[in-house]
Amino acid sequence: MNIGIVCYPTYGGSGVVATELGKALAKKGHRVHFMAYSQPFRLNLFSENIFYHEVSVNDYPLFDYQPYESVLASKIVDVAIYEKLDLLHVHYAIPHASVAYMAQEILKSKKIFLPYVTTLHGTDITLVGRDPSFEPVIRFSLNQSNAITSVSESLKKDTLSTFKIDNKIEVIPNFINLDEYVHPQTDGSKKRYAPNGEKILVHVSNFRKVKRVEDVLYIFDRVRKKIPCKLILVGDGPERAAIEKLCRELDTCSDIINLGKITNPIEVLSISDLFILPSETESFGLSALEAMAMHIPVISTNSGGLPEVNIQGKTGFLSNVGDVEDMANNALRLLNDANLLAEFKTRAFEHAKLFDINVILPQYERLYNRLVKEG
């Protein structure tokens, strides 16, 4: 099948899911055409069956806002015609679903039918999508989608309560390629960050408000007062400066390592003991799943789709948003009991297996086949 994928190329779950999905489809022999305004950061172009079409908008003095949507729609039309796309899969509803609709209409006028799947990732519905100025466009383009998928039951519920959607929403969760989540030899790097055998807590995110990275620091502060530990922060974003200020106030900077943006967190995860994700909301929490795939239990909030990924008392613990005291106590409970920690590690990994690409990819392929047949 010839499949077009539209996604955000930047650091963030939706881009990672789109890229990993495209890579897995290409491995199975599908020809996958990525369209984005820059190369998705986890995409290696020197791979069989993978193609990348950059969407570049020319600057013009008239534009205060560049007409990205129009250029993207034209790109989709062009790629659909010349690469003979069978199907288009857009990740993140805004603005990709309405652009897909526009491209579909243009192609119809040329007697070409291009079905499109819209995958909802979270903030497109729970944060950005709640802005009423988007409502008519999101609702319309979702209802026009030939299929809608959401990454969790929780996001499906949120979508149905936010928008009047007549279309069916199919849940296809986030996934990981378990084969890639192997423990490399790590003694050397563990010593580099925790020279005296300290426990390592880790947080990976794009440092947006919704991630509540300040809570990571409050949790760490409480844990550090009880046991020797280090905190590794992976990622970067708008909250970084506030976090640096807070660690100075808490006087914990000497035990915090800011690694910044790392393309793939596997190595860092392989030396970590506990993953901390205190998000305000999380439609799924791909970073938590990545940690679990590396045998790391998760201390998280219980918001959004997190309870579908992190199982209370089995793969980690879940607390109310903002309850840093409870999250710190849960972290200490695990870090202070080697046997319990070992049990949680095993169960985290076992649960991650349910989200292996080999389980999830066929669900997308079935959906694609159905749409192409229907067309």
Residues lying near ligand GMT in the complex (CB under 6 A) are found at: 12-15, 17, 92, 121-123, 126, 151, 174, 206, 208, 210, 281-286
Q: Closest distance between ligand GMT and the C-beta of residue 292, in Å?
A: 13
Q: Is the Cβ–Cβ distance between 213 and 203 less than 8 Å?
A: yes
Comparing CB distances to ligand GMT, the nearer of 92 and 218 is 92
Q: Closest distance between ligand GMT and the C-beta of residue 93, in Å?
A: 10
Between CA 41 and CA 215 the distance in angstroms is 28
Please name the amino acid found at residue 207: F
Rounded to the nearest 10 degrees, what angle do helices 286-293 and 13-27 cross at? Answer: 60
Between CA 47 and CA 64 the distance in angstroms is 38
Q: Closest distance between ligand GMT and the C-beta of residue 289, in Å?
A: 8
Comparing CB distances to ligand GMT, the nearer of 169 and 286 is 286
Measured CA angle at 112 (ends 109, 114), to 5 deg: 110
Rounded to the nearest 10 degrees, what angle do helices 357-374 and 13-27 cross at? Answer: 80
Q: Closest distance between ligand GMT and the C-beta of residue 233, in Å?
A: 15
Comparing CB distances to ligand GMT, the nearer of 115 and 285 is 285
Q: Closest distance between ligand GMT and the C-beta of residue 120, in Å?
A: 8
Comparing CB distances to ligand GMT, the nearer of 14 and 272 is 14
Between CA 346 and CA 200 the distance in angstroms is 18
Comparing CB distances to ligand GMT, the nearer of 4 and 285 is 285
Q: Closest distance between ligand GMT and the C-beta of residue 205, in Å?
A: 7
Q: Closest distance between ligand GMT and the C-beta of residue 211, in Å?
A: 7
The SS3 assignment for 99 reads helix
Q: DSSP letter string over 54-85?
A: E--PPP-TT-SS--HHHHHHHHHHHHHHHTT-
- Of the chain, the end-to-end C-alpha distance in Å amounts to 14
Q: Where are the beta strands (DSSP E) in the chain?
A: 2-6, 31-36, 50-54, 87-91, 116-120, 147-150, 169-171, 199-204, 229-234, 256-260, 274-277, 298-301, 316-319
